[in-house]
Amino acid sequence: MLTGSHRSERVGACTDCRRYWGKFRAEEIDAGEIADVNNQLVASVGTCSVMGTASTMACIAEALGMTVPGGASPPAVTADRIRVAEQTGTEAVRIARERLTIDRILTPAAFENAMRVLLAIGGSTNGIVHLAAIAGRMGYDIDLAELDRMGRDTPVLLDLKPSGDHYMEDFHHAGGMATLLRELKPLLHLDALTVTGRTLGEEIERAGPGFRQEVVRTRDNPIYPQGGIAVLRGNLAPGGAIIKQSAAHPRLMEHEGRAVVFENAADLANRIDSDDLDVTADDILVLKNIGPKGAPGMPEAGYIPIPRKLARAGVKDLVRISDGRMSGTAFGTIVLHVTPESAIGGPLAYVRNGDRISLSVARRDLTLHVSDDELARRAQQTPVVAPTADRGYRKLFLTTVNQADQGVDFDFLRAAETRGKVPGNGA
């Protein structure tokens, strides 16, 4: 969608929505101004005007070779979008006639290209879940350790909210994905096939030379020196967790604090705004039971709000941890996708108020400072009973859905035979 304007400030859904809502919770602005902002956040039809999940997946789809070139960035109301639609129809007919099958496009090389793009655009953390699900249906597993390794030499180049300052329409005017892919060229598999029947490298060349613009940075002048997403491990997340480091507060990237625990979304809603909540700006908020089976459905509840008493005091960020997801439009020092989730007995289930937790993004570490013996005692004292259902779709879901690292997909929809990990398949 296009952007709007509030009191001469350019605004767009939904990063600015969250920013203004934070101001409202902190009582910095009143209900009248919130209403005025709300009227400007959605200036046209379309998806969020920042690098939310929709924009992220559009960019990833183009990087995978699964859309026509230039399909990721045109605003919904433009003639460019109509041209993309027409070209898509033309290509669909050609693909059917030539019998170009999806397995020739969704190769390990294509997935690695998509991972590079996800890191370079400061993309939504949801992109990892979706990529893992797509890869699983093709018989591949996304190697989170390799994704993190790639992130160390794939800087964020796209100056776009929430990691930067611009909006999707600016990215489109700057040349869209062609401009980004041209800058990423040395890191990409240029021989990966696309739906046009041409390779990614050929499509980059067909896009022509670049031009002067300020939205896509060079690799020598990134907006963030590493990839937007980092993968964490430790005794609190033995199967991994992630953080959108490009949208986090630098001061909190190395932090140890006291856990303030919410058992589920209802508990959070009931207590987060209470003046009696025992919480300080140095604490770490922990939200349990919002993972794939716990919620169920892994909702975007990981963007835990700043407790109202702290918001009023001027606190803008603090470390937050959960087994859930958050919108790509969100920002803050927020650890997500903790695996295994609390609802199936992951270590997160046994965190208690007052426990010490340390986060080190530099070391990619997430540690609960509780001994193994004490965790075992807690597990025996209050064992976790995984959620169940007697019949229907809920039973199907709870019985077969897998964890975040495999895409929160039904296990029976994954390919019957695993073909390996990506990266790491000789792509």
pLDDT tens digits along 385-401:
999 999 999 999 999 99
Task: Give every CB contact of residue 179 below 8 A, 6+ residues apart in sequence.
Answer: 210, 213, 215, 216
- List 320's β-bridge partners, or say none: 285, 334
Average pLDDT on 336-362 reads 98
- Angle 108-120/126-137 helices, nearest 10 degrees? 180
Instruction: List for the chain the helix, strand, coil content (%; round to 5).
Output: 40, 15, 45
The pLDDT-based confidence of 143 (bands split at 50, 70, 90) is very high
For the chain, the first-to-last Cα distance in angstroms comes to 36
Average pLDDT, the chain: 97
The pLDDT-based confidence of 204 (bands split at 50, 70, 90) is very high
Token match 């598999």: residue? 189
Max CA distance (Å), the chain: 67
- The whole-number pLDDT of residue 404 equals 97
The pLDDT-based confidence of 427 (bands split at 50, 70, 90) is very low
Q: Give the span between the Cα atoms of 399 and 407, in whole angstroms.
A: 15
- The whole-number pLDDT of residue 48 equals 96
Q: In this structure, which topology does domain 229-381 adopt according to CATH?
A: Glucose Oxidase; domain 1 (3.50.30)
- The whole-number pLDDT of residue 424 equals 77
- State the amino acid at position 300 in one-letter form: E
Q: Give the span between the Cα atoms of 288 and 349, in whole angstroms.
A: 7
Q: Give the span between the Cα atoms of 359 and 340, in whole angstroms.
A: 18
* H, E, C per residue of 230-295: EEEEECCEEEEEEEEHHHCCHHHCEEEEEEEEECCHHHHHHHCCCCCCCCCCCCEEEECCCCCCCC
Upstream peptide bond of 108 is cis (omega within 30 degrees of 0) = no
- The whole-number pLDDT of residue 242 equals 98
Residues annotated catalytic, as ranges = 327
Distance from chain centroid for Cα 280: 27
Domain ranges of the chain: 4-41, 53-206, 229-381
DSSP state of 349: G
- The whole-number pLDDT of residue 426 equals 43
Could you read off the pLDDT of 5-46 as tens digits, one per residue?
999 999 999 999 999 999 999 999 999 999 999 999 999 999
Q: How many residues does the chain have?
A: 427
pLDDT at 425 over 70: no
What is the Cβ-side half-sphere exposure of residue 87, based on CA atoms within 13 angstroms?
Answer: 13
Residue 35: helix, strand or coil by DSSP?
helix
Record the pTM: 0.96
Question: 328 with 53: CB under 8 angstroms?
Answer: yes
Tokens of 385: 């009973």
Instruction: Classify the C-alpha dihedral 183-187-191-192 as positive or negative.
Output: negative
Could you read off the pLDDT of 253-312 as tens digits, one per residue?
999 999 999 999 999 999 999 999 999 999 999 999 999 999 999 999 999 999 999 999
What Rg do the C-alpha atoms of the chain give, in angstroms? 22
Q: What is the DSSP string of 13-57?
A: TTHHHHHHHHHHHTTSS-HHHHHHHHHHH--SSSS-SSS-HHHHH
Upstream peptide bond of 59 is cis (omega within 30 degrees of 0) = no
